[in-house]
């Protein structure tokens, strides 16, 4: 028996609230990512977009609302979160299970042409410096000239890092973000839902899922350096609150 829409909706709603603890001004950050993608795809009939580390499709769904003519490929390595996305997601979003950076992962996306945009939110921070160097190079190879990589994530500042982190925490506190359940309690509660038993069993068979929320500790400047080395010609932060940044790189 497949996953019911009611169960998927319940856990995705709780996911959305939980994630507010970890992304300052999360909704605004999504909006900024969509602003960038809309700008660089203006005039293109059916832009092709990949959402990296999509989870249950939070960003992909918002992009689909803003750009209903787009084709969106949402990729993640978590079969449980992907099933939530497939159950609830709009038809313009295609969900793919793959490990970002693993051998053959870009082939698994099933792309029929170069990308107009690759986007990610709160996902790439678990990749090491070496892995990011490889992934950024791979993305540069499948993006069209003028296409963009938009990474919205926890990106540490080179200077005044402690102050930036403090500002972010204070803003999150004013928004009562810490009143929501955390990452660990969400997973613990979801594991008790009998309708998710088979999906959790499948999840346990997937290597590399545990510990994926760790931060690689890389600064904005280091990300920019890696992106330029990969072949991106323009790199800049277009939005920031605390350590929550939207970094844009133009191919």
Report strand pairing: 244-250 vs 234-241. antiparallel
Residue 11, pLDDT > 60, answer yes
pLDDT band at 38 (very low <50, low <70, confident <90, very high): very high
pLDDT at 112: 94
* Residue 201 pLDDT exceeds 50: yes
Lowest mean pLDDT among 49-63, 97-111, 138-152, 172-186: 172-186
pLDDT at position 105 is 96
Mean pLDDT, residues 27-42: 97
Domain boundaries, the chain: 5-250
- 211 confidence band (pLDDT: 50, 70, 90): very low
Q: pLDDT digit string (tens) for 126-179?
A: 899 999 999 999 999 999 999 999 999 999 888 888 898 899 889 888 988 888
pLDDT at 203 over 80: yes
Residue 215, pLDDT above cutoff 80: no
CATH topology of domain 5-250: Rossmann fold (3.40.50)
pTM score, whole prediction: 0.93
pLDDT > 70? residue 63: yes
Query: pLDDT of 67-78, one tens digit each?
Result: 999 999 999 999
Q: Which of 40-44, 205-209, 213-217 has the highest mean pLDDT?
A: 40-44
Beta bridge partners of 115: 143
């Amino acid at each position: 028996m497949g996953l019911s829409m009611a169960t998927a909706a319940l856990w995705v709603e709780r996911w959305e609230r939980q994630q507010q603890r970890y992304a300052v001004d999360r909704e605004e950050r999504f909006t900024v990512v969509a602003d960038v993608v809309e700008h660089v795809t203006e005039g293109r009939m059916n832009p092709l977009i990949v959402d990296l580390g999509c989870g249950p499709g939070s960003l992909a769904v918002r992009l689909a609302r803003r750009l209903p003519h787009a084709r969106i490929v949402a990729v993640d390595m978590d079969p449980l979160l992907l099933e939530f996305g497939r159950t609830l997601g709009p038809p313009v979003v295609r969900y793919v299970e793959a490990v970002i950076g693993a051998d053959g992962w870009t082939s698994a996306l099933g792309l029929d042409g170069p990308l107009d945009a690759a986007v990610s939110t709160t996902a790439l921070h678990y990749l090491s410096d070496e892995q990011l160097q490889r992934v950024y190079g791979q993305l540069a190879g499948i993006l069209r000239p003028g296409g963009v990589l938009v990474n919205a994530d926890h990106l540490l500042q080179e200077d005044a890092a402690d102050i930036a982190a403090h500002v972010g925490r204070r803003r999150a506190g004013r928004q009562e973000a810490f009143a929501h359940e955390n990452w660990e309690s969400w997973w613990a509660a979801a594991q008790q839902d009998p309708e998710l038993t088979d999906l959790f069993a499948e999840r346990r068979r997937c290597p590399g899922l545990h510990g994926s929320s760790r931060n690689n500790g890389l600064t904005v400047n280091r990300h920019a350096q890696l992106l330029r080395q990969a072949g991106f010609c323009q790199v800049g932060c277009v939005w920031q609150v605390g350590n929550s940044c939207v970094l844009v790189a133009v191919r």
